[in-house]
Amino acid sequence: MRTLAFLTCLALPAPAMATSLTLELPVGSEVLRDQTSQLDSYALPVGAFADGQLPVLDLQGLVHRGSWSVASQGLTSLQLLDPLQTQLEALGYTILYSCDTQACGGFDFRFETEVLPAPDMHVDLSDFRFLAAQNGDKDHLGLLVSRSANTGFIQMIRVTDAADTDGVIAANTPEGPAEVPDVARLTNSDIASDTVPHLQAQGHVVLEDLSFATGSADLGAGPFASLNGLAAYLKADPSRRVALVGHTDAVGTLERNINLSKRRAASVRDRLIAVHGVSSAQLDAEGMGYLAPRGPNLTEEGREANRRVEAVLLNTE
């Protein structure tokens, strides 16, 4: 077994007052993210998404965000989570809430809770598990696990007392703003060759070449290389399924943007069915509005990057 530690702080000078949490993961696990923010917040889910809401505890303090990949061919998400839950309970944690996929609220839960961006975390919308735990009044954590065909993914976000940060050194500093991809430099050949491999490797892919009229849900005439590649991938195996997820910039109300993003995703779904011959059973259409940006909405480049449709893999071979 490989020992991985959440070192939330290191007090200086001695005596050391580090608040640490050490968990064991299978051999072959790799750290994907190890980030500490001294004064930050986290909305910890403590119930299922229902009636348009996700019950959360709004926590503030020292926040550590970590994620790992685990070579786990053949392991289920339950087999990934159960040993971690056992270890947490042995360390004195009380489980506040636990759930799996549909019991959590499915798609809505996944996109309402904080998930580290790819490639640091991957969530299969048809197979994930979550638990919230507490150890005393000032130590809370959320644990999310999911998997792809050959790899398991574990994310833990832990919040401890901000007062412990006096005179401490954080393990890492927060990352800067996400880099906005230069879509203009992508050719049709690039998009055609990258769409399916990226979808298989990361579990989701932005369909970079799609175009919509401003403020409209009508998909342009095309042809679109990304849809050609995606359609061929889906038609090669009827068991494959994807969710098409629309995203917008932050101009306008959330309700309007969610509606627009879902209608754009539905337009892509309709095109794949009507023009490319993909079975409707292999396609879902959802909308996130401006809730999952990949660039800053303060610049035109960022807003353009945020206006997109992604394909999210719902199951793998």
The pLDDT value recorded for residue 150 is 75
Q: Are residues 83 and 195 in the same domain?
A: no
The pLDDT value recorded for residue 21 is 79
**Distance, CA of 190 to CA of 85 (rounded, Å):** 43
Over the stretch 199-255, which tens digit does the pLDDT of each residue have? 887 788 888 888 876 667 888 877 888 898 899 999 998 999 999 999 988 888 888
Does residue 63 lie within any of the structural domains?
yes
The pLDDT value recorded for residue 182 is 44
Over the stretch 171-189, which tens digit does the pLDDT of each residue have? 222 334 444 444 434 344 4
**Distance, CA of 309 to CA of 263 (rounded, Å):** 11
Domain hosting residue 223, numbered range: 183-313
The pLDDT value recorded for residue 38 is 81
Number of independent structural domains in the chain: 2
Q: Are residues 137 and 190 in the same domain?
A: no
| Residue in this structure with the two tokens 């197979």, named with its chain if needed | 127
Q: Which of 165, 199, 214 is the last residue of a domain?
A: 165
Does residue 92 lie within any of the structural domains?
yes
Q: Are residues 73 and 153 in the same domain?
A: yes
Does residue 46 lie within any of the structural domains?
yes
Query: CATH number for the domain including 200?
Result: 3.30.1330.60
Q: What is the DSSP letter of 295?
A: S
> What are residue 183's phi and psi, to 5 degrees?
-65, -30
| Residue in this structure with the two tokens 């053949």, named with its chain if needed | 74
pTM attached to this predicted model: 0.52
Q: Which of 165, 193, 225 is the last residue of a domain?
A: 165
Q: Are residues 26 and 155 in the same domain?
A: yes
Does residue 201 lie within any of the structural domains?
yes
> What are residue 142's phi and psi, to 5 degrees?
-120, 130
The pLDDT value recorded for residue 190 is 41
Q: Are residues 307 and 271 in the same domain?
A: yes
Q: Are residues 296 and 240 in the same domain?
A: yes
Which residues have a Cβ under 8 Å from the Cβ of 124 and sit 6 or more positions away?
146, 147, 148, 203, 313, 314, 315, 316
Does residue 174 lie within any of the structural domains?
no
Tens place of pLDDT for every residue, the chain, 317 residues?
444 444 333 222 222 233 677 888 776 788 888 888 888 899 999 999 999 899 999 999 999 999 998 876 567 888 889 999 999 999 999 999 999 999 999 988 988 999 988 788 888 888 899 999 999 998 999 999 998 877 889 999 999 986 544 322 232 223 344 444 444 343 444 444 578 887 887 788 888 888 876 667 888 877 888 898 899 999 998 999 999 999 988 888 888 889 999 999 999 999 999 888 999 999 999 998 888 888 888 887 788 888 899 999 886 54
Beta strands, E only, the chain = 2-7, 20-25, 30-45, 56-71, 94-100, 128-134, 139-147, 151-160, 204-206, 242-247, 283-287, 308-313
Q: In what order do the strands lie in the sheet with 128-134?
A: 30-45, 56-71, 151-160, 139-147, 128-134, 94-100
Q: Are residues 156 and 51 in the same domain?
A: yes
**Distance, CA of 89 to CA of 7 (rounded, Å):** 19
The pLDDT value recorded for residue 165 is 40
Q: Are residues 248 and 106 in the same domain?
A: no
Does residue 170 lie within any of the structural domains?
no
Length of the chain: 317
Q: Are residues 156 and 13 in the same domain?
A: yes
Q: Are residues 232 and 264 in the same domain?
A: yes
Question: What is the rounded radius of gyration, in angstroms, for the C-alpha atoms of the chain?
Answer: 21
**Distance, CA of 302 to CA of 167 (rounded, Å):** 37
Q: Are residues 187 and 68 in the same domain?
A: no
Does residue 99 lie within any of the structural domains?
yes
Which residues have a Cβ under 8 Å from the Cβ of 225 and sit 6 or more positions away?
188, 189, 191, 192, 195, 209
Does residue 176 lie within any of the structural domains?
no
Give the DSSP H or E segment for 266: helix 254-274
Q: Are residues 139 and 189 in the same domain?
A: no
Give the residues across from 62 on adjacent strands.
Answer: 160
